[in-house]
Amino acid sequence: MNRRRLSFSTYDDVIAEIERLEGSGYERLGEWSLGQACRHLGYYMRGSLDGFDFMLPWIVRRLIGRPMLKRMLAAPRMKPGLRTIPASVPEPEDEDRQAVDEAKDLLRRLADHSGELHPSPLFDRLTADQWRQLHVGHAAHHLGFLIPKEP
C-alpha cells in the first residue's frame, strides 16, 4: 500500500481530513499515529501563531531556507524522511484525542487569525498565505501516511 497524495487548500480542508480519519479509523504506513502527526504539525502551527523559541542563523535562513521555501511553494510535495527539528518529534503515545483536539484548535486559530504571523526559524518572515501553503502542504504530507479504513 502506498501513501496517499493529499492536497489541501484551506485549514478547514485539513480539519475535515483529521475528522475523517478520527471517524473511520486508519492504518499507518509510517511510524506516527494521527495524534503523533497532529502533535508534530501543531508544533509548527503554534510557533507561527505564538512564536518559536529559536531562530536558525541568518546565513542558514538566507542560503538554505529561502531557496527551499521557493521550491516548497512551487511544488508543495514533501519527500519522506526529511530531517526535522528534534523538538517537533512527538513522543510515542497511546491516546490521540488531546493532540488531535489541539491541532484542530490551532487550525481554527490560524483560519481566524488576521495580521502577521511569527517568523519561521528556517524561512524567516512569511506572509499569512505562505504560512497557509506551508501548513496545509505539511499536513497533506503527514496525513498521507494514514489510510482511512473503509466503512
- Is there a domain that residue 6 lies in? no
5-26 pLDDT, tens digit per residue, is 999 999 999 999 999 999 999 9
- Is there a domain that residue 111 lies in? yes
79-97 pLDDT, tens digit per residue, is 666 677 778 888 876 567 8
- Is there a domain that residue 58 lies in? yes
DSSP assigned state of 13: H
Q: What b/e string do you get for 42-63 counting C-beta neighbours within 10 Å, with b at 16 or more?
A: bbbbbbbeeebeeebeeeebee
- Is there a domain that residue 71 lies in? yes
- Total tally of structural domains belonging to the chain: 1
112 residue type, one letter: D
Range of 73's domain?
11-148
